[in-house]
Structure 1
């Protein structure tokens, strides 16, 4: 697991850039809040607000990211007021917390912006419980949130806006539906059910720190779309928390909240959260748990018993989420995985169409955005198949099938990247063989998935003769055709049937 974190590919060094920028943005936010003379709880709120603003906002364009970031206080400040006002009224507070949790998950139906705003709303309610925010503290807390969002935005959109120069992988969404057919609707119901279990049992474990169980339950649902994904994520959350508790006991407890070393280690944890989030949920949770331990030490509450209590509450929350996805409107791994694979195959077709059109002389054709889209879709396929490829999975036939699908889709991605590189070469040409090869790729795609209402045309005007510059494109097209043909065996047959090689 540790090896995977450090050897994982980082195209464009996006993870490294994101982690370094997060440290700068959050450090500036905390410094601004402290220089403004705000109390320590308000400064902590500001730092967490900056972290969320940098972590959750993932719109496709810089303009979209700026709009979403500007909307965060509009969502978070009313929720803070609600949480502070209900702090001493247990039943209304609990019901409001569950309502915010359900709404936060349901908001994901509106894409990255809905996801960011829903997450920020839930976490502001959570932070109010974490810091015991009272109504009299709201002016300071409001100031901290606004200053932190402004400071982190100054870094993200001013000092270091690398998205203007690098393609950022897009996190796609599954097609919607209506009513309970929509995954976000089902997950919202599951989040409320799992949160209710976590809230009740968490309060039995601790009347003071019960909110950790609700938070653990809610975060298990983030970036998952099937019960298998959620079960694996719950396991990884408990594992990461367990490891983080051990590190917190060794590192945070002896510091007793000493300011300078705590600040240095907090920056390291922030870096770890952003650097590992895309490749290892367990290590991200490790960094989060150590960060929380440091914050408790800074606030003067840290002791070993508190760390053990956090582990217990995390286990309760993960159990609530797991029970919810198993018993309440379950979404099967197979159905979700098939939908993601279908989207990935369609994306391969779009990449091929654009590259072929570029080779044919269409100057406005550009496969690069579709290659980026394909990378995001392959990440979602890997996540969806993770329950089957997990080392502890007992389903050997389905594990072999899942690994075969991933290998073939990786082959497709490699060939598409190569094809796009050939198409970008101004010396590249096309000949009579390209049209036939593109037609075969299109036929292979339609053999796997039903053609859309208006299929993308692979337009290549055939010319007589053979051109040496086209040999590279032909090789990639033949590789695509082979990989797509071999995908038929694992994709079009029963997931429980033994896999027979094509």
Structure 2
């Protein structure tokens, strides 16, 4: 077996494991709810809800510690009961129901300002409500029956997702070796918090999507609303929203066409349709690690097949579905660009500052800093897609997307760094000041290191990042400078980066959003 083959297999192993764990939880929840449906004479919508909750919860819970997972057992049943009443209200009074839906989703985003636990709770509280948009005919079964069983279905989904992921990820072992990330409070300053901005974007975008959806697509308005939610929710800046909108449109178009081609092979209520739906979801979960477009296409194809199962021909709905998805995508992108917008590059600026703050601690021989550095580098994946697309289109060099590439390349060198890397602390401090657009401190200067060492590779990466963020040398250096071994503290540098982005609110946007994992 060649080296390239080994590397390819290793790269594909993690997505396969994630997809396998997701589908194991989904199939277990499906089987359990199917037995409950037959025993309690429930509607088939209960089974669909269990599948939707399992799919979305698998992503929201991935890599979470056990205390965060326990939040789901409290939040999910309570919101599931509330979603039953919300579904009835949306059917009986569209205006009030749609407004309540938008308020619930927006509040789930707004409470992220209070910390990681509230971020997790806010994400979970949206999942049962979003499931209403996936179920055909817009709501659950009879309220008198479903209201009693809604929390049970939510607990079934929570149980199987937690059981499978705990068995695969073994979070109790990871907790012994990985130090918890240190929370950095945002600095006080002017402007509106990012959580408030994201909540406003999503809430107003959903209201517009409801209105336009009922107007243009009275029988399929949920397609518009669901797409607008996916684009708005968790969008890390204007570029990220546009990127998600494009991928959603491309993936949905491909998924709809594939489902339309396969729909003629199955009759309504054909069990083989259900099997194909799970196969499509499994492939989508595997390919999602490569591009969100695969996930969008897979979910759209699964939903199209679900409608075929319910007896609706996919052919006549093909154009309607595509039009609704495009309209919803435009609404979502417009909300992110017009309502309290912020730039994806500002998000990258803060994330890069966090990476280098952790790198400073690594060079100080902090025993837990390397894990924190690698975790911070992983977080950069959330903004890499739109930046990479902009680099491809603009052909600009150097580009802000290069920062992500450089920090990724640093990870193995940081692992192998020896005592000689401690001399890089001054250069790390210079790069952090450049990111924060500060002109004080020791200027960046490449060190004379052996080309074969990890320290030399790290220093070369720092030089590339500094070239992107360093201001032009128009001002003379400050008269008084700190010693070369002095670097800004993590709190000072992150506060400067946060204050900088908040000061630019009226021009281009706020500080980067709090870390969160959206459901879609």
- TM range, smaller chain: 0.7 to 0.9
2:49 aligns to what? 45
User: Please, which of 243, 251, 266 is the counterpart of residue 240 of structure 1?
Assistant: 251
2:159 aligns to what? 150
Distance 1:483 1:401, change over 3 A: same
Worse-superposed segment, 320-329 or 68-77? 68-77
Report how far residue 290 of structure 1 moved: 1.1
Report how far residue 241 of structure 1 moved: 0.3
Partners of 1:55 and 1:26 in 2: CA distance = 12
User: Please, which of 373, 376, 385 is the counterpart of residue 375 of structure 2?
Assistant: 373
Quick check: 1:352–1:416 contact (8 Å CA) kept in 2?
Answer: no
Report how far residue 86 of structure 1 moved: 3.9
User: Please, which of 79, 83, 88 is the counterpart of residue 83 of structure 2?
Assistant: 79
Distance 1:279 1:135, change over 3 A: same
Distance 1:190 1:372, change over 3 A: same
Report how far residue 231 of structure 1 moved: 0.7
| Pairing 1:315–2:326 present | yes
Quick check: 2:254–2:297 contact (8 Å CA) kept in 1?
Answer: yes
Provide, for residues 429-463 of structure 1, a one-character-per-residue CA deviation record: whole Å limited to 9, x for no partner.
x5xxx3xx413x111111011499xxxxxxxxxxx
Report how far residue 25 of structure 1 moved: 1.1
Worse-superposed segment, 84-93 or 131-140? 131-140
Distance 1:10 1:316, change over 3 A: farther
Quick check: 2:358–2:372 contact (8 Å CA) kept in 1?
Answer: yes
Quick check: 2:255–2:301 contact (8 Å CA) kept in 1?
Answer: yes
User: Which secondary structure does the structure 1 equivalent of 2:220 belong to?
Assistant: coil
Distance 1:406 1:451, change over 3 A: closer
1:219 aligns to what? 230
Partners of 1:379 and 1:219 in 2: CA distance = 18
User: Please, which of 312, 333, 341 is the counterpart of residue 330 of structure 1?
Assistant: 341
Partners of 1:23 and 1:60 in 2: CA distance = 18
Quick check: 2:359–2:369 contact (8 Å CA) kept in 1?
Answer: no
Q: How do residues 347-426 of structure 1 correspond to structure 2 at under 5 angstroms?
A: 347-354=358-365, 365-366=367-368, 368-383=370-385, 385-389=387-391, 391=392, 393=393, 395-397=394-396, 400-419=398-417
Provide, for residues 146-174 of structure 1, a one-character-per-residue CA deviation record: whole Å limited to 9, x for no partner.
333333333333x5444455699999999
Where structure 2 has 5 or more consecutive residues not aligned to the other structure, the ranges are 1-6, 436-448, 473-520
| Pairing 1:340–2:356 present | no
Distance 1:121 1:231, change over 3 A: same
Report how far residue 287 of structure 1 moved: 0.8
Partners of 1:175 and 1:226 in 2: CA distance = 20
Quick check: 2:269–2:310 contact (8 Å CA) kept in 1?
Answer: no
Question: How many pairs align?
Answer: 441
TM-score between both structures, scaled by the size of structure 2 = 0.75
Report how far residue 311 of structure 1 moved: 1.7
2:25 aligns to what? 25
User: Which secondary structure does the structure 1 equivalent of 2:416 belong to?
Assistant: helix
Partners of 1:407 and 1:490 in 2: CA distance = 13
Worse-superposed segment, 58-67 or 195-204? 58-67
Report how far residue 11 of structure 1 moved: 6.1
Quick check: 1:340–1:380 contact (8 Å CA) kept in 2?
Answer: no
User: Which secondary structure does the structure 2 equivalent of 1:388 belong to?
Assistant: helix
Over the aligned positions, Cα root-mean-square deviation in angstroms equals 3.3
Distance 1:372 1:60, change over 3 A: farther
Distance 1:442 1:411, change over 3 A: same
Quick check: 2:242–2:333 contact (8 Å CA) kept in 1?
Answer: yes
Quick check: 1:225–1:384 contact (8 Å CA) kept in 2?
Answer: no
Worse-superposed segment, 283-292 or 12-21? 12-21
Distance 1:342 1:443, change over 3 A: same
2:4 aligns to what? none
Q: How do residues 437-452 of structure 1 correspond to structure 2 at under 5 angstroms?
A: 437-439=421-423, 441-450=424-433
User: Which secondary structure does the structure 1 equivalent of 2:380 belong to?
Assistant: helix
Q: How do residues 31-70 of structure 1 correspond to structure 2 at under 5 angstroms?
A: 31-36=31-36, 37=38, 38-58=42-62, 60-70=64-74
Q: How do residues 2-21 of structure 1 correspond to structure 2 at under 5 angstroms?
A: 13-21=13-21
Worse-superposed segment, 379-388 or 199-208? 379-388
Where structure 1 has 5 or more consecutive residues not aligned to the other structure, the ranges are 1-6, 358-364, 423-429, 453-470, 495-502
Partners of 1:489 and 1:51 in 2: CA distance = 42
Distance 1:205 1:20, change over 3 A: same
TM-score between both structures, scaled by the size of structure 1 = 0.78
